[in-house]
A and B are shown apart, each in its own frame.
Chain A
Amino acid sequence: MAVLAAAIAAALLSGLALAIALLGAGEGMLASHERMSRSLRQAAEGAVQLALADLRSAPSWDVVLAAGGVAEVSAAPGRLFDGSLLPPAPWGGGALDLRAATVRLQAAADAGRGPGDGPQVWRLFIAGPLARAVPGVAAPPWYVGVWVADDRADSDGDGGHDTNGIVAVRGMAFGPFDALAAVDASLWRDPAGSSGAVRILTIRPGS
């Protein structure tokens, strides 16, 4: 009788413990995903700010919009730049395909181009692990990239030449399990072209 009672009580307790453990694990997973999502978004915004610092020192937008040795890369990339378009993911696992990311971005821009919009040619401007962008800080193992293109309102028909002082910028932060956050910004350069006269017109969460 005592053995039976003990067995029932043990089963009941085990069931309760399992339910609580499952709830706790689920809660922990949700919280972890939430943290990663917010962290990636902040990393993407930080990458845009990092690119802005480099873009300020560029003599003109045309230098940045021109193709480098590799068509997907800007002729004057920023200081944070991995040599490879297939860099290893900082969180382990396989390599990140930045060429494919550029192609996807270009395809989305082409698909969303209105009849009167100017052409956009997206090129990689900065790319590297977040930890290298902020040395000495315990940064999460995200990889950040920033692409630049002429803005759609520039209707000169040349995606590599700026006539209105505005460029479009997309910052992306990559995390494990295909996690991704993006931020879109429009940057304006003073026609006088003095150093530092580059400002963020708008910055919006990307889709």
Chain B
Amino acid sequence: MSGRRGFSTIEMLVAMAITTTCAGVMLSLVTAGHAIARTQPARSDQQQRARIAMETLGTELARAGAGLDRGAQAGPLAQYFAPVVVSADNGLTVWYVAAARAQAALTAPFVPGSTDAAIDAGGTCPAADPPCGFEPASSALVFDTTGCHDVVRIDAVMPASIVTRAAPRTCSYAAGAAVAAGEVRTYRVDPATRQLIRRDEATGGSVPVLDQVGGMSIAVLDGGRRVRVSLRFVSTLLEVPELVLALDVAPPNLRERW
């Protein structure tokens, strides 16, 4: 028994100091790791929202200003009016003809108060395809060479005309004005819900696209050839800073002037 001895006080103190230091280091690592683990999903969500915004707005701006592929008014919409504008509620409004199909010209005046637009089936659009590819429950752009432009909702397609839900709002269109399947969409931020909203200007209907968007600013530059959009993404976590996405786009259909 005389050979057995315990730890000395010094040894105990050194062991305790080492244990305390190790525990302290571990605790600080765990605390820091926990904080990162708590905020990282929110940061990832923010990044993902920014990517979706970039994809959504980028795709819309890639189409912006696409006009007719044939006929007397063929070419970019910018020949006749500004297809990318800042809306009255500070949103981004884009106009475009959606596809190469469903493009025609009016054969009779289309005036405020009228919802029947006669189209030249067999003229600028194929003869054997009387409705020219227009479809009910879709939208169409109407525009002429004077700069008048409207968007209408198509309720029915007849052999030589389309029936719209509402009459044109801005102008009286003479025969020869262009009619084409297209879209007019406005993207704006609702400050109350902090959502990025997409509004269909033909129907007035709105759908939320993204949550937690704190604000949006838009600038149309170089005479309408370039668009700069800045979106501010917020988070519900105070520790996560705001993320600002800045898009500077020269839409392909707006680059060239005719």
Contact = CB atoms under 8 A, between A and B. Distances in A.
Interface in A122-176: 151-153, 155, 164, 166, 168
Contact of B22 (A6, A31, A200, A205): A6
Interface string A9-44: 100110011011001001100110010011001000
B70 A204 contact: no
B256 A19 contact: no
Contacts of B124: 153
A190 B58 CA distance: 31
Contacts of A202: 66-69, 75-76, 97, 100, 253
A115 interface: yes
Contacts of B34: 16
B224 interface: no
B128 A27 contact: no
A2 B100 contact: no
A155 B62 CA distance: 29
Interface in B68-82: 68-70, 74-76
B126 interface: yes
A23 B67 contact: no
Contact of B100 (A19, A20, A37, A152): A152
Interface in B1-57: 19, 22-23, 26, 29-30, 33-34, 36-37, 40-41, 44, 47-48, 51, 54-55
Interface in B100-152: 100-101, 124-129, 133
Interface residues of A, number: 41
Contacts of A20: 33, 36-37, 40
A144 to B, nearest CB: 16
Interface size class of B (residues with CB under 8 A): 35 or more
A199 B47 contact: no
A205 B30 contact: no
A5 B88 CA distance: 63
Interface in A192-207: 199-205
B252 interface: yes
Contacts of A188: 74-75
A203 B30 contact: no
Counting chain A CB atoms within 10 Å of each CB, the highest count among B44, B69, B76, B256 belongs to B69
B125 A116 contact: yes
A202 B69 CA distance: 6
A151 B62 contact: no
A155 B252 CA distance: 28
A164 B74 CA distance: 12
Contacts of A117: 126, 129
A16 B19 contact: no
B62 A204 contact: yes
A72 interface: no
A115 to B, nearest CB: 4
Contact of B30 (A9, A115, A184): A9
Interface of A: 2, 5-6, 9, 12-13, 16-17, 19-20, 23, 26-27, 30-31, 34, 37-38, 41, 45, 114-117, 151-153, 155, 164, 166, 168, 184, 186, 188, 199-205
9 contacts: A13-B30, A13-B33, A26-B44, A27-B47, A45-B252, A116-B129, A199-B75, A200-B252, A202-B100
Given A186-B69, A201-B76, 4 more contacts: A168-B100, A203-B253, A204-B99, A205-B63
